[in-house]
Amino acid sequence: MRQHIDRLIPAKWQQAWVIALIVFVVYLPSFWNTFVWDDEQFIQRNLFTTSVRYIPQIFTTNTIAGAGEFSNYYRPFTTLSFLVDRLIWGLRPFGFHLTNTALHAGAAVLLFFYLSRLGVRRSAAWWLALAFGLNPLQTEAVVYMNSRGDSWYVLWLMAALLLALRWLTTVDWRWYVASLCCFVVAILSKEIAVAGAGLLGLTYLHIWLRGGDGSKVWSNKWWIKTRWGWALILGWGSVVIGYVGLRLTVLSFGNFLNFYQGTNLYTDSLVVRLVMFSRALFEYWRLLILPYPLHMERGIPLITEWWSWPVWGAILVVASVLGLGWWEWRQTRQSWIWFGLAWFFVMLGPVSGVVPINGLLYEHWLYLPMVGWWIMVGRVMQLSLQRLQRQWLDRAMSWLVVMVFVIWTGLTIRQNWIWRSPLSLYPYTLQFAQTARLHNNLAMAYADAGEVGQAIHHYQQAIALDDGYPQTHYNLGRTYLELNQVQQAEVEFKRALEINPRFDLAKVALLELALEAENWPLANQYLDELLQLYPREPQLLQLKTQLKAKL
């Protein structure tokens, strides 16, 4: 029976299906979770996810422009995937979670194929891909619908790398073009994918270093094709340069070189940002060793001096790993430790602070960098066991690995449960962080549940913590309208526009209030402002015609 199955389905594909099945089973409980956090503006209120006629706007505006909001994000292919889901499922969360899980499982499978193709033993590649799929740190990227960009870009990036490897062994231009196309889609799914060019260079360098080790993965003919590898690197590099050029010009929705959209000590000093990154590294390493507790809105103490302990501690850790890599190279003429270390830092590069971004660290930023970490850890374990040559130690290590995976599975399922609804996620997260965003999101959840008093309380808490979010005032205004407190609602809507004059939802709300009060000149003023942004919107044009008759 087994031989018959092997003839029908190659062993490699059987292992791939097992990875996908395990990931699906572990994330199955999340299929009944609801929308949370920023799903509202990225999906639920995003007009561009409702019809294919908005595809041109998806590719020419910022990611949440369809919700009447401004951001510097540009992820058209991720928004396009939300559009497809919404056309199929409506706003039923089940379908979005099904897609997210399928993309995560697909990314794990392609990672397995990539590592196998690169020369990792198939059994080791399988465990590495499963570690990627099951690690509880991935929950935020999989269960949080709006975080789909992580699995979406990794899926395309792994496909691009696999096609690049095919190009290097065949020099068939179809694979070259397909690789570049997949890389473009990856970048347009999430900005961090630009670091994929570094992964390509790292892959090529690793192959070059392994050229003399007798590996059967790459034939001797590969050496003749070295120039084709550089052609591919040049192609990917051109894609990155072209993308950055577009984001700095026609696709610039703010300051592409500063996602904070403001200035402070962190944004003004590259040294401070790199010092803070060294501190973040220790938190990343802690989470990779012990992924508990897991939560959003993490913070780290402000450090500004380059001589502080995190800087020198990080340098010491990296130097130690480089030393282990040198030892591996001397002993085996292989460079897996260096490869894993470089992978980790290449993929963390875009969130290292080189370009100021809107946070210091998030769990989902480890989504792909963790692969480099596990390559390093796995290789050190393998070399240690080979050196000690103790059979009982091999068995003990195998049981330890199985136990770790079981614990990870339990923690992942637990995180699925925590993310099941806003009223379970936000109170849990408030145990670890008191932020304006958390209180605003919890207030919205209470408002949806009809608990208006709790909603107003948490909106006011959010404003007290940070009065820089127009969404909070807008949401509070909507809550006041439910209580028929029109004047207070109008004050909140105007305050939202004071904070951000481009916050269109507040203009719509004020337009509605002006129409109800039959204040036609004021209504016409708000309508003209909206028509400047949406000159072809049928409802606005129809309303303009009606107002002309009343003025």
- Residue 499, Cβ neighbours under 10 Å: how many? 16
Average pLDDT over every residue of 258-287: 82
Examine the pLDDT at 212 and tell me if it is beyond 50: no
What lies within 8 Å, CB to CB, of 92 at 6+ separation is none
Residue 253's Cβ-side half-sphere holds a number of Cα atoms within 13 Å equal to 17
Residue with tokens 């990343």: 284
pLDDT tens digits, 450-488: 899 999 999 999 999 999 889 899 999 999 998 999 999
Residue 218: band (very low, low, confident or very high) from pLDDT cuts 50, 70, 90: very low
Residue with tokens 């070399």: 383
DSSP class of 259: T
Examine the pLDDT at 350 and tell me if it is beyond 80: yes
Nearest residue to 317 (alpha-carbon basis) of 346, 284, 272: 284
pLDDT tens digits, 149-187: 999 999 999 999 999 999 888 878 899 999 999 999 999
Q: What percent of the chain has pLDDT over 90?
A: 60
Q: Is 343 buried (19+), middle (13-18) or exposed (0-12) by CB count in 10 A? A: buried
Average pLDDT over every residue of 182-202: 95
Q: According to the model, what pLDDT value does residue 223 have?
A: 43
Q: Are 282 and 303 in contact (CB under 8 A)?
A: no
Q: According to the model, what pLDDT value does residue 214 have?
A: 35
pLDDT tens digits, 295-305: 988 888 888 88
Q: State the chain's mean pLDDT as an integer.
A: 88
SS3 (DSSP) at 117: helix
Structure tokens at 25: 């089973």
Q: According to the model, what pLDDT value does residue 74 have?
A: 93
Residue ranges of alpha helices (H) inside 2-50 are: 2-8, 11-27, 39
Q: According to the model, what pLDDT value does residue 336 have?
A: 94
- Looking at per-residue pLDDT, the higher value among 121 and 539 belongs to 121
- Looking at per-residue pLDDT, the higher value among 18 and 303 belongs to 18
Examine the pLDDT at 215 and tell me if it is beyond 80: no
- Rounded CA separation 496/477 (Å): 9
What amino acid occupies position 118?
A: L
Kindly indicate whether the domain formed by 434-550 is annotated with CATH number 1.25.40.10: yes
What amino acid occupies position 205?
A: L
Average pLDDT over every residue of 193-220: 72
What lies within 8 Å, CB to CB, of 469 at 6+ separation is 436, 437, 440, 462, 499
Q: Is 437 buried (19+), middle (13-18) or exposed (0-12) by CB count in 10 A? A: buried
Examine the pLDDT at 2 and tell me if it is beyond 60: no
Average pLDDT over every residue of 46-72: 91
- Rounded CA separation 1/12 (Å): 17
Q: Are 114 and 158 in contact (CB under 8 A)?
A: yes
- Rounded CA separation 8/114 (Å): 22
Q: Are 500 and 481 in contact (CB under 8 A)?
A: no
Q: According to the model, what pLDDT value does residue 256 have?
A: 64
- Global pTM reads 0.88
DSSP class of 483: T
Residue with tokens 């120039």: 227
Structure tokens at 433: 């962080």
